[in-house]
Amino acid sequence: MNRRWDIFCRVVDNFGDIGVCWRLAKQLQDEYALDVRLWVDDLNVASKIVTDLDAEAHSQKIYGVEVCLWRDEASFVNVMPADVVIEAFACELPSPFIRNMVANKPIWLNLEYLSAEAWVDEFHALGSVHPATGLHKTSFFPGFTQKTGGLIREQHLITKREAAKAEFKRLPSLQVSLFCYPHAPLQSLLHAMAEGEHSVECFVPTGSAIGKIAEFFGRAQIEVGDTLNKQQMTLTVLPFLTQDEYDQLLWCCDLNFVRGEDSWIRALWSAQPFIWQTYPQEEKHHLKKLDAFLEKYEVKQNEVLSEFHHAWLDTEITPKLWNQLITELPALKEHAELQTQKFEQHTDLAAKLVIFTKNRV
Ligand code: TRH
């Protein structure tokens, strides 16, 4: 039985790397009763995501997961690898740890970044040989088709979402959540929301875009708890939420702006319309990633959702485009629900990982 798992996570930037790894670690522990050790190289960033994490402690148990600080190479000389080793996002395992893997030959998986591009079907679960040790390593690609490694989705997520939605009181104004990179055309979006035909309540968890928002309101700075008004828009700055609270926000908003990898998929599971800002890549490869996703999400190029996404990623949002999006929101909500239901039928990432490792014993 492959009961013990190691997950290695390097915080490259922002919260996506630890966001995905922590979610997966928790789920493997919670739903499969596996012993999971999560190695993270930056506990300060991790403490924003892992509730109750003590950033000073080198090793601690949180929700049943052993969270360990990934220190220097030397600290791994006597660390025995678990039965399954997940190297998240090609983060490069410590050399002494790889040497120790030669003895117990764990199942070694590289968990890749998520993409909806077609090539992922072909590359998922392909193996390679590690040149220095001859160890076998498998590339595990999350994705949107049955041929890929699937998407992170906890077992009770949909039931929880539906129970929460049944409790929400509908408000007359439009509720929007906003999580984006600071290079997004924020001024144009805020302007469009303020000028728009509908009154909007916009909720922004505090983060790197706050400075730009303050600028829009002509303020030197804004803080958590501030509520600002301009014409049709009321904007509230929220604290950075826990992952669970963030899910709740996505479920109760009529429209969600999300980014990166993890918030994107949480928005998908919210079954509400969303606008995804892809992580910027060289030569605008992120636009290809966007188009690949929109195709899987069954959005045609001439539809408002496609136009809005491209404007958000590459140009700016006009009041006309904003008004059009909001006018079509009821239809977009129906579309979102159908799409979410479609992807809910697929086996999730954790389940696929567990099945894969069982089959390799
Ligand atoms: O923060 P991101 O941009 O993360 C990443 C990284 O940049 C990474 O290097 C890159 O490769 C990857 O994107 C594609 O966006 P993401 O992936 O959405 O992660 C944000 C996490 O923060 C996610 O787990 C949700 C969580 N979150 C909260 O817990 N509370 C909040 O209030 C908000 C806004 C987010």
Instruction: Measure 105 CA to ligand 1 centroid, in angstroms.
Output: 33
130-134 LR contacts (CB < 8 Å, sep 24+): 130/98, 132/98, 133/98, 133/99, 133/101, 133/102
pLDDT digits (tens, 9 = 90+) for 237-277: 999 999 999 999 999 999 999 999 999 999 999 999 999 99
210 and 144 in a common domain: no
244 and 133 in a common domain: no
331 and 351 in a common domain: no
Q: What's the pLDDT band for 1 if we cut at 50, 70, 90?
A: low
pLDDT digits (tens, 9 = 90+) for 111-162: 999 999 999 999 999 999 999 999 999 999 999 999 999 999 999 999 999 9
213-221 LR contacts (CB < 8 Å, sep 24+): 213/186, 213/237, 215/187, 216/186, 216/187, 216/190, 216/191
278 and 225 in a common domain: yes
Q: Which residues line ligand 1 (CB under 6 A)?
A: 12-17, 19, 49, 113, 179, 205, 240-243, 246, 259-263, 279
Measuring CA to CA, which residue among 193, 248, 247, 202 is closest to residue 227?
Answer: 202
- Look up the domain containing 64 and give its range: 4-151+346-359
Q: Tell me, what's the pLDDT at 168?
A: 86
Q: Nearest 5 degrees, angle CA 18-CA 20-CA 25? A: 90
118 and 169 in a common domain: no
Q: What order of strands is seen across the sheet that includes strand 65-69?
A: 59-62, 65-69, 35-40, 4-9, 84-88, 107-111, 136-140, 127-129
292 and 318 in a common domain: yes
pTM exceeds 0.95: yes
In this structure, what CATH number is given to the domain that contains residue 112? 3.40.50
Cβ–Cβ < 8 Å for 270, 250: yes
* Residue 316 falls in the annotated catalytic set: no
* Total domains present in the chain: 2
49, pLDDT greater than 80: yes
183 and 141 in a common domain: no
* Residue 261 falls in the annotated catalytic set: yes
d(CA 239, CA 148) in angstroms, rounded, equals 35
Residue range 79-87: average pLDDT? 98
117 and 202 in a common domain: no
Closest atom of ligand 1 to 22 CA is 24
Q: Tell me, what's the pLDDT at 169?
A: 80
State the angle between helix axes of 16-32 and 243-252 in degrees (0 to 180), rounded to the nearest 10.
100
Burial of 130: CB neighbours in 10 Å, binned 0-12, 13-18, 19+: middle
164 and 137 in a common domain: no
340, pLDDT greater than 80: yes
pLDDT digits (tens, 9 = 90+) for 169-214: 877 889 999 999 999 999 999 999 999 999 999 999 999 999 999 9
Mean of per-residue pLDDT scores for the chain? 96
349, pLDDT greater than 70: yes
Q: Tell me, what's the pLDDT at 350?
A: 98
Of 6, 254, 261, 348, the catalytic one is 261
31 C-beta neighbours (distance < 10 Å), count: 15
Instruction: Measure 13 CA to ligand 1 centroid, in angstroms.
Output: 9
